[in-house]
Structure 1
Amino acid sequence: MRKIFVFVLVALSTWTACSDDKDLGPDIPFVGSYQLPQGKSSADDRIVELFNTYGSYFLYEYTQKDFNWTQVSVGSSANYSYGTILGDPVYAGDWLDVMERIWLDFYPEDFLQKNLPYRILMADSIKQTYTYERPATYYKVYLTTNTLAIAGLNKDIVSLSGAVEKSFKNVLQQEFLKHLINSGALVAPDEFYYVSDYSKKATAGVEARTRGFVPSIDMEESYGSVYDWCTYIVYGTTELSRTNDLRHYLMNMISHAETESNSWATYLTYPLVKKKHDILKKYFLEEYGIDFQKIGNANAKYSE
């Protein structure tokens, strides 16, 4: 009986609201979150075009509130906080040239229209500061909910060395991949998960590769090291994580060329690794139009 009463009340309220529309005054046009062009760069027309194409705001002027905006509280604690230093809009065109070369050009336009973060914050630098005595930590890229802050909006962007651009590319691609995985934009084929045995942990090295697992490169850019995540099972399931398996495959694919001896050139000599690698490469190219291994293979040009 209570449900019927609530339904009637809501229906009456809706009918009343509709009948009184004429008294609400003129419609107020919807205005976007930010005003483009921002007016301080010769690249403003390109930034407006990017918004018109992808629906994403590339901003060189914004507040720390924009940077820290998230649907969940992240990025700060009692001991540290994150922030950006605004860049010089004079270099926005050069910055965009680099972003297209190391990031956007690898993805189909329709895929980016669906999956590019809402805000792309162009920064001079991104730093983590501490409440106790310790030097600030600087980042090239920082991801929060639907916001990607990217450093480099300064004079140095016009003369990046090969090694610096390679590192920049890897970090940016990795953070974008995290965004895609977190948002559910990528789904792997079931056949990928049929190849390896997830029922027990693997010993690092030869056994891990023999069973079709590649290592995590999460610490590679910072510390130059990789580690075998598959030596630990998930406590709740008592199995290895299938999600981690996919993530680490894709991370390796976008960060290493097939010719790199400390990566795919070695890993692909193991039959199960090659089988899973080939499944992903073929599937994502056919289903999404993305060649993730091509992104990693682009690293070869930096050592020429």
Structure 2
Amino acid sequence: MKRYLINAISLLLLAVIWSGCSKKEAPLLPTEGNEGYTLPQGNHDYDTRILNYYKKYGTYFLYQFSEKDAYWTPTGYKNAIKQGQYWSDGFEMKAADQAFINQQLDLFESQCLNFYSEKFLKAFLPSKILLCSEVDSIYNDFDFSTSPATVVKGLRSVAAWYNYNNLLINYGNAKVLTITPEEKKLYLAKVNLNLINSITEAKKTSPTTAFSGSANYTIAPTSDADAYAKGMLTAYYNGPTATSDWYLYIQAMVSFSEDNLNRLPDSWDTSFTGILNPAKDSNGIIKRRYDLVRNYFKENYNVDLQLIGNAAQAN
């Protein structure tokens, strides 16, 4: 009897131990996709978050990556280099400081991802989001202390940069802890515009039949006013097409508020300001086409692109 009691107690203890072990969180298992990147890249708390992004959207959020990942395109590397005395167009970057990646992801979520539905992000996010501590646009500056003036490399920090199926995002550094409301708004505008440009440059979206048929492209416009009257946003001298206009309507929504789109423009203004005002939209065609694009993304992806432009230009 005593032996049976001991056996029963032993079985009960084993059951309790097994139950406790089964409730422990499963370890992160490596995931490798078609592009050869393996997640997680480390064992930080944000690695779980990054792995969940991949599972949800199919996009790699990388904080360890090569220069090829950042700069390579089929037509060559896009990092700025010195050619003779001048610098080529391009950018420079540095990988994120890993101490600030959680805060960097918080910023990216609140100012970018949260504007879109999961369906939209699955369809349109680039394959890689590169987490950076620095993203700089390079330009040619001049040192006038010498005679003659000499060319020097100019650096302009930017919130984001799109480069062939990857989006590089800034603020993986201590600045993310003290970002001001104005800086946050600039970040919102730049990151979302770069995301939209990545979609259009990769031709992941195209005009609907209704949009293509809502303007007559058989007769080329002869002036800016003529293009606007025909419902075209592409500069008249650039040969407007349904595709080029589709992209520009999207860009207008994410970069300009509704107030600015409806504002009375200056007579010489060829920006998106006032494209919905009768001063530019003399025949009301731009407004009809604008509604076609806006409603397409609402109905098919549950995303109102205009809310991004409103937030980017909010007072």
User: Is this a same-fold pair by TM over 0.5?
Assistant: yes
Q: How does 1:171-250 map to 2 (within 5 A)?
A: 171-198=190-217, 199-204=219-224, 206-214=225-233, 229-234=234-239, 240-250=240-250
Counterpart of 2:62 (choices 59, 63, 67) is 59
Paired residue type of 2:245: D
| Cα offset, 1:122, TM superposition | 0.7
Q: What 5-or-longer segments of structure 1 have no aligned partner?
A: 1-28, 215-228, 235-239
Counterpart of 2:163 (choices 141, 144, 158) is 144
State the TM-score, normalized to the length of structure 2: 0.70
2:104 partner SS: helix
Contact 1:64 1:83 in 2 (8 A): no
Note the aligned Cα RMSD (angstroms): 2.8
Counterpart of 1:83 (choices 69, 92, 103) is 92
Contact 1:40 1:89 in 2 (8 A): no
Partner of 1:283: 296
Partner of 1:23: none
Alpha-carbon distance between aligned partners in 2 of 1:142 and 1:265, rounded to the nearest angstrom: 24
Alpha-carbon distance between aligned partners in 1 of 2:159 and 2:273, rounded to the nearest angstrom: 28
Alpha-carbon distance between aligned partners in 1 of 2:302 and 2:259, rounded to the nearest angstrom: 23
2:168 partner SS: strand
Alpha-carbon distance between aligned partners in 2 of 1:246 and 1:88, rounded to the nearest angstrom: 38
| Residues 89 and 30 (structure 1), Cα distance of their counterparts in 2 relative to 1, 3 Å cut | closer
Paired residue type of 1:273: I
Partner of 2:24: none
Runs of 4+ more than 4 Å apart:
29-32, 128-132, 262-265
Contact 1:40 1:90 in 2 (8 A): no
Q: How does 1:43-192 map to 2 (within 5 A)?
A: 43-76=46-79, 78=83, 79-80=87-88, 82-129=91-138, 133-192=152-211
| Residues 44 and 258 (structure 1), Cα distance of their counterparts in 2 relative to 1, 3 Å cut | same
Aligned pair count reads 254
If you compute each CA radius of gyration, which structure gives the higher value, 1 or 2? Answer: 2
Contact 1:258 1:264 in 2 (8 A): no
Alpha-carbon distance between aligned partners in 1 of 2:31 and 2:153, rounded to the nearest angstrom: 46
Q: Which moved more, 1:134-143 or 1:247-256?
A: 134-143
Q: Which of the pair is proportionally richer in strand?
A: 2
Alpha-carbon distance between aligned partners in 1 of 2:132 and 2:236, rounded to the nearest angstrom: 38
| Cα offset, 1:179, TM superposition | 1.9
Contact 1:123 1:151 in 2 (8 A): yes
Contact 2:231 2:286 in 1 (8 A): yes
1:136 partner SS: strand
